[in-house]
Structure 1
Amino acid sequence: MRRLLPLLTKAPHAGGRSALTCRYRCGDACFHEVPNTSDNEYVGDVIAGALSRRSMMRAAAVVTVTAAAGATALVPGAPSAEAHGAGGHPGHGHGRPSDGARGLRFRPVAPNRDDKVTVPEGYAQHVVIRWGEPILRGAPSFDPDRQSARAQAGQFGYNNDFLSLLPLRGERGRQLLVANHEYTDEFLMFKGYDPENPTREQVEIAWAAHGLSVVAVQEEHRSGRLTPVTRHPLNRRLTATSRFELTGPAAGSALLRTSADPAGRTVLGTLNNCAGGTTPWGTTLHGEENFNQYFANGSGPTDKRYGIGSGATERKWERFDDRFDAAKEPNESHRFGWVVELDPHDPDFTPAKRTALGRFKHEAAQPRLTSDGRPVVYMGDDERFDYLYKFVSSKRMKKGGSRAAREHNRTLLDHGTLYVAKLTGDSPAAEVDGTGKLPNDGEFDGSGVWIPLATGEVSHVPGMSAEEVYVFTRLAGDKVGATKMDRPEDVEPSPRSGRVYVALTNNSNRGKSGYPGADEANPRNLNKHGHVLELAEHWDDPSSDGFAWRLFLVAGDPTDPATYFAGFPKDRVSPISCPDNVAFDPHGNLWISTDGNALGTHDGLYGVATQGSRRGELKQFLTVPTGAETCGPVIQDRRVLVAVQHPGEVDGATVEKPASTWPDGPGRIVRPSVVAVYRKDGRDIGV
């Protein structure tokens, strides 16, 4: 008789996520001590001597400019209820499909608990690709009863997260789909799985199911359907054992050398790739997030700061490869937690881990360009009470598709300055009481500065070398007094307005005994629903070190007075909880996918207007099946793509006792998959 595992019987985890998901995706981070135990100051405090007069003046200048800009201010005047007329709650399916900002004219999907992908009236959907479908020449068809590591290495990986669709030059109607594969759940992959005694074959299959996939897809002309093109020469799988290159200022550091790689420049594998980004020069970026859970027997303060445990791991990989045992290879874990850059158009390119962007739990990395062509990359560290970062390159992008331009652009993220954010609220501390009640000025807002950490081989952090800053970036943020945030995840700059949007998923420890209480940028104690932050930098110079900020959304049930939707009438918005990945559509609307809906219904994808009279109007576009998370949204003119991650991942579920029958129905194994949604009439999304 199979014993019931203690971790699977715990109370529901923070954010509504199952214990099984937390166990395999992030190593039960919420049940461990918060890694950030630093006593650095919080929002509203001033670090004496840490900020230059120039930084403070720039921050003040941004606030002045945005306040005086009228229609282009950070947040325009709140729209009035009268402007939209009376009506029901969009989250309950009321309202005409033609209502909404351009790109968001659809009847919202009602919150539900249905074991399927639910889309708006007038829309259709299909599965583009499933876990295990062959994408490389010679890979067999998926057979869960005869799976092997060799087969999986040629098949689409498990638990798809970040997605990117790139044009495929010279091939009409084709695009390149790039996907992250964040983690594996062996209970849902293998019959009779024994977590105390995994087999070598199971472990090697899991190694092959991690990583990245590149697969060409063919568009059907009359609809939004996409079909994988198997055996395409650009199709590619990168796994936990593929070769990756360490580049940038920390490459070759003694902190990155191991017995297998005494030069400290070559890494086997990429792990726990969560979200990512697409660069203006045509490459993709992939954030290594909860890498800590793969390493056993950690010791010392740096391992603890990164959440590496002192005992055995859940998956027991250290039994099969010494590099996952920190007692035997103490530097191996330092080679994970980076942003990976991949060139999907070049199958011979060795993907690079860009050390200049720092090492932490990267949710994503999305760049934009300064007016003179230098990339600026925004990044969140997905941990309770950790930080928001940006990187500003010192090199300019070269335009064109020549080999010289491509090779030059592959070096852009190796040279520049890494910064961490400090936010200051503009309301008295007494007006931020932890309930979510707006302060007297009607908004949670303020100013901020980007504190430099390192530039190339020069450290800006007293007591730390540049190599230490890059490898132990969290400690550098501690030292300079960065603002402790509520799990900063995906960070995306708007291609239209230049404003930067930060998804802060939740933080149930905010305000608990021994932890920081609410501040203006994180205004709710026991924050289970999360919020979305909006930053404004100088539009023509996002490399500046000052910014203004406001909370764009404070998530939850709109009937809760502690919620806020950019001033939009709350009887006209859908409920939302735990924002995670974000993306923009061609009209400038922000799309938000959720992870761990704490309102008791399934996760989903939402669109929200960021400008104009409907700013803050949020509408639910789809929901995902039982146990699943919505990931990797791509919003094109004619289709929406989402990654349905960990369907059926419910406490107690196994291959033999599935909690979901998605996507292939009863009697078939549950499979993470990519789904495309499009209008039945073939017209553009939401118009």
Structure 2
Amino acid sequence: MNPIRTLLPMLGHTRGGRSAATCHFKCGDACVKPECNTSGNSYFKDVADQALSRRNVLGLGAVGASALVIGPQLFGAPNAVAAPLVDTGRGRGGHLKFDAIDPVSRSVDNMSVPEGYDWHAIIRWGDPLFANSPEFDSKKQSAKSQAMQFGYNCDYLDIIADKYSGRTGVLVANHEYSNEDMMFDAAWFVANTDEARRIAMNSHGLSVVEIKRKKHDQRWTYVVGGERNRRITASTPFAVDGPAAGSDLLKTVADPTGKLVLGTLNNCAGGTTPWGTVLSGEENFDQYFQGRGTAEEARYGIGTGATDRGWELTDPRFGLNHAGYENEANRFGWIVEIDPQNPDSTPVKHTSLGRFKHEGATVRIAKNGKAVAYSGDDSRFEYIYKFISKDTYRKNDRRHNMTLLNEGDLYVAKFAGNSPASEFDGSGQVPSDGAFDGTGQWLPLVRNGKSMVEGMSVDEVLVYTRLAADKAGATKMDRPEDVEPSPVSGKVYVALTNNTDRGKDGKEGATEQNPRIANRDGHVLEMTEAGNDATSTRFTWNILLVAGDPRVNDSTYFSGYPTDKVSPISCPDNLAFDSAGNLWISTDGAPGVIGLSDALHKVSLHGKDRGRVEQFLAVPTGAETCGPVVHDKDNSVFVSVQHPGEGGSFAQPASLFPDFIKSPQSAGKGQFYGPRPSVVQVFKQGKGNNGNNGNGKGNDKNKD
């Protein structure tokens, strides 16, 4: 048995192509742990009241009452618009022309792209960022070197071209989690456990890397020693702002001010703001902490046993039972904001957007100039949130705009269907009116600087946002992940990845907004704010697609588009748009039929082609498709290839992507016998491109 790997509780419980190791390292085996949200059960009120009545015990008594969103502007960041655009019916085409590829077996250890396209890895785990960074050497790793190299398991991604050049820019990527099984030799790990943990800590966070390209060449390369290059890790200082900054709930022995946090953890998706900064969501932070058994900790999934990562043994702040660190977990689970143009700036954690397992956050500017941020809480039976800024956007005033997320109103979504409940038996069949649709409202949690939740102060609402949303009566959804507004129509799209627990004994069954029990394939929701105004508290909604493989699953739905003419799709995760407003969906869990690779799909949203799904690419063995960026006018698509070969080990890799080294002895300088999470560019072959991905591998048209 690998001494690094502990027992994998998800063995025998995963579906599709997902490895039990992915569940273990990515989210701490959340699916086999007790349900965090018990608010639908009759006993929840007692649990919530108990949690809130124990404030004195927990120190609460002293507390007072992607993808681009809008189009290029400052540093290539999205333009702010005075109002969402009216749906003009555009979006049928886009500049990126391709023939959809067939589903790909997960045994194909390569990028699979359409005919006429090629790919190359821009940057890989361990690649040096600075002039004094050491070259990657898998057998000579150290915490110091990892802090100067590209981190592990890249997720959210943006490619921000400099406005006046177009041939320079920055690449920004999250690093969600580490997999010590694949990163380290087992014997070395046992002999150097503390150092291995510190390497893992430094493999988390974000990377900012300057990129460049030649004239008439689509392909981007990264710049070692670029002036804007930066690594953010689990120990980088973050400022805390918003109403909960300085709260007793955020104070520790190391930070008695409650306004300075070291590090960011499990950063999943994100968004680029209209003012050119990048937002990143802290997601499955619970797995890093050993808890004390409080109701608040349980609501966030924090257990009392020793963690599998063991960080509490190396750094006491990860043990909430260590004196003075009882609140350390409260300092994670936020939306963080970084300025990719200024490597000396202090990143910020925004308490005004609430604390939960943020998949990410995306911002649009409303008719009245308010900044509106959408976010999903990525767990089973959790909620969808919206933040509306107090202040308004000012054109060309970047310093002011960087304060817009400091203060404002926080809401959570409540959905209602318009068909009889009796029509939803959990099979996913379309109701008699021909569509899954209805109305909804945004329930206030904090408004005008005041708590709208009885019995909770503002900082309690923001630190324990899940509890506040429970009390407000929010609607439980099937793992809400990316929430993205369309730059063309202003409609808001929600990726609901899956929920195999829906309909189980004691748990909520099928509803119109979540129409399938044991929902392993997920669905995508489309929301229209009342009056097409992002600040409205009312909306209508419909389901764009109920995912799965129509060849073997008769519960799929694609807005009426023929199911025999779509690419299979399962577990929608990250969303993006092209310049014409087509939706692009990356997946986290192989499509319905066991054994398929994760993929990126284009989905048409308008006219007779609405609901048409076309697969653009597939990622290598064991990998997940993350952070899609679609630059269709440049004939390029970018993705983060996360956890390739997951389930293998350092000694016995399950993937060789992207170096494709055949043996440890044949690895050259900076290469690795085994998989390396990487940022990949897929580009159209033609003038200025040599049709070579740089790794000795051509494109793979998925002929299994």
Q: What's the TM-score once normalised by structure 2's chain length?
A: 0.86
Rounded to whole Å, the distance in 2 between the matches of 1:487 and 1:9 is 18
Over 3 Å counting, the alpha-carbon distance change for 1:2 and 1:459 in structure 2 is closer
1:410 to 386, 396, 402: 402
**Alignment-derived partner of residue 371 in structure 1:** 367
Residue 513 of structure 2 is aligned to residue 518 of structure 1: no
**Alignment-derived partner of residue 599 in structure 2:** 604
Rounded to whole Å, the distance in 2 between the matches of 1:655 and 1:348 is 36
**Alignment-derived partner of residue 643 in structure 1:** 640
1:213 to 187, 207, 224: 207
Check the 8 A contact 1:499/1:536 in 2, yes or no. Answer: yes
Higher mean displacement: 508-517 or 191-200: 191-200
**Alignment-derived partner of residue 191 in structure 1:** 185
SS at match of 1:109: coil
1:158 to 152, 155, 161: 152
Over 3 Å counting, the alpha-carbon distance change for 1:104 and 1:514 in structure 2 is farther
**Alignment-derived partner of residue 36 in structure 2:** 35
Check the 8 A contact 2:9/2:32 in 1, yes or no. Answer: no
Check the 8 A contact 1:219/1:226 in 2, yes or no. Answer: yes
RMSD value over aligned CA atoms? 2.1
- The CA deviation string for residues 554-600 of structure 1, in whole angstroms up to 9 with x for no partner, is 00012332111111111211000000000001110000000012422
1:613 to 604, 608, 612: 608
2:335 to 339, 342, 357: 339
Rounded to whole Å, the distance in 2 between the matches of 1:482 and 1:496 is 29
**Alignment-derived partner of residue 567 in structure 2:** 574
Higher mean displacement: 405-414 or 174-183: 405-414
Over 3 Å counting, the alpha-carbon distance change for 1:586 and 1:521 in structure 2 is same
SS at match of 1:565: coil
Rounded to whole Å, the distance in 2 between the matches of 1:34 and 1:75 is 42
Over 3 Å counting, the alpha-carbon distance change for 1:6 and 1:296 in structure 2 is same
**Alignment-derived partner of residue 58 in structure 1:** none
2:675 to 651, 670, 674: 670
SS at match of 2:363: strand
Task: After TM superposition, give the deviation of residue 6 of structure 1 in Å.
Answer: 3.5
Over 3 Å counting, the alpha-carbon distance change for 1:199 and 1:620 in structure 2 is same
Over 3 Å counting, the alpha-carbon distance change for 1:586 and 1:193 in structure 2 is farther
How do residues 528-567 of structure 1 correspond to structure 2 at under 5 angstroms? 528-538=520-530, 540-559=532-551, 560-567=553-560
Q: Which amino acid aligns with 1:567?
A: G
1:149 to 122, 136, 143: 143
SS at match of 1:145: coil
Check the 8 A contact 2:205/2:265 in 1, yes or no. Answer: yes
**Alignment-derived partner of residue 20 in structure 2:** 19
Rounded to whole Å, the distance in 2 between the matches of 1:120 and 1:649 is 25
Check the 8 A contact 2:92/2:605 in 1, yes or no. Answer: no
Rounded to whole Å, the distance in 2 between the matches of 1:484 and 1:451 is 13
SS at match of 1:391: strand
How do residues 384-395 of structure 1 correspond to structure 2 at under 5 angstroms? 384-395=380-391
Residue 353 of structure 2 is aligned to residue 361 of structure 1: no
Runs of 4+ in 1 over 3 A off after TM superposition: 1-6, 71-76, 99-105, 169-172, 193-198
Task: After TM superposition, give the deviation of residue 112 of structure 1 in Å.
Answer: 1.4
Check the 8 A contact 1:445/1:549 in 2, yes or no. Answer: yes
How do residues 250-329 of structure 1 correspond to structure 2 at under 5 angstroms? 250-328=244-322, 329=325
Check the 8 A contact 2:588/2:598 in 1, yes or no. Answer: yes
Rounded to whole Å, the distance in 2 between the matches of 1:409 and 1:503 is 28
- The CA deviation string for residues 483-516 of structure 1, in whole angstroms up to 9 with x for no partner, is 0000000000001000000000000000011110
Higher mean displacement: 3-12 or 301-310: 3-12
Check the 8 A contact 1:223/1:680 in 2, yes or no. Answer: no
Q: Which amino acid aligns with 1:365?
A: A
**Alignment-derived partner of residue 229 in structure 1:** 223
Check the 8 A contact 1:424/1:448 in 2, yes or no. Answer: yes
Check the 8 A contact 2:427/2:515 in 1, yes or no. Answer: yes
Q: Which amino acid aligns with 2:229?
A: N
**Alignment-derived partner of residue 622 in structure 1:** 617
Check the 8 A contact 2:92/2:580 in 1, yes or no. Answer: no
- The CA deviation string for residues 623-646 of structure 1, in whole angstroms up to 9 with x for no partner, is 001110000000012210000000
Check the 8 A contact 1:362/1:379 in 2, yes or no. Answer: yes
Rounded to whole Å, the distance in 1 between the matches of 2:376 and 2:267 is 14
Identity %: 53
Rounded to whole Å, the distance in 2 between the matches of 1:626 and 1:346 is 37
**Alignment-derived partner of residue 666 in structure 2:** none
Rounded to whole Å, the distance in 2 between the matches of 1:544 and 1:500 is 13
Check the 8 A contact 2:130/2:226 in 1, yes or no. Answer: yes
1:398 to 394, 397, 412: 394
Over 3 Å counting, the alpha-carbon distance change for 1:656 and 1:316 in structure 2 is same
Rounded to whole Å, the distance in 1 between the matches of 2:411 and 2:88 is 22
**Alignment-derived partner of residue 7 in structure 1:** 8
How do residues 106-145 of structure 1 correspond to structure 2 at under 5 angstroms? 106-113=98-105, 114-145=108-139
**Alignment-derived partner of residue 456 in structure 2:** 464
Residue 581 of structure 2 is aligned to residue 584 of structure 1: no
Over 3 Å counting, the alpha-carbon distance change for 1:261 and 1:588 in structure 2 is same
Over 3 Å counting, the alpha-carbon distance change for 1:445 and 1:100 in structure 2 is closer
**Alignment-derived partner of residue 685 in structure 2:** 680
2:411 to 404, 419, 422: 419
Task: After TM superposition, give the deviation of residue 436 of structure 1 in Å.
Answer: 0.4
Unaligned 5+ runs, structure 1: 42-70, 77-98
Task: After TM superposition, give the deviation of residue 424 of structure 1 in Å.
Answer: 0.1
Unaligned 5+ runs, structure 2: 43-84, 664-672, 690-704
- The CA deviation string for residues 167-216 of structure 1, in whole angstroms up to 9 with x for no partner, is 32555501111000000000000011688886111011111110010001
How do residues 491-530 of structure 1 correspond to structure 2 at under 5 angstroms? 491-530=483-522
How do residues 9-88 of structure 1 correspond to structure 2 at under 5 angstroms? 10-14=11-15, 16-39=17-40
Higher mean displacement: 640-649 or 159-168: 159-168
SS at match of 1:414: coil
**Alignment-derived partner of residue 52 in structure 1:** none
Higher mean displacement: 288-297 or 536-545: 536-545
Higher mean displacement: 556-565 or 505-514: 556-565
Rounded to whole Å, the distance in 1 between the matches of 2:537 and 2:488 is 21
Over 3 Å counting, the alpha-carbon distance change for 1:302 and 1:283 in structure 2 is same
Task: After TM superposition, give the deviation of residue 398 of structure 1 in Å.
Answer: 1.4
SS at match of 1:261: coil
Rounded to whole Å, the distance in 2 between the matches of 1:178 and 1:235 is 10
Over 3 Å counting, the alpha-carbon distance change for 1:466 and 1:334 in structure 2 is same
Over 3 Å counting, the alpha-carbon distance change for 1:465 and 1:136 in structure 2 is same
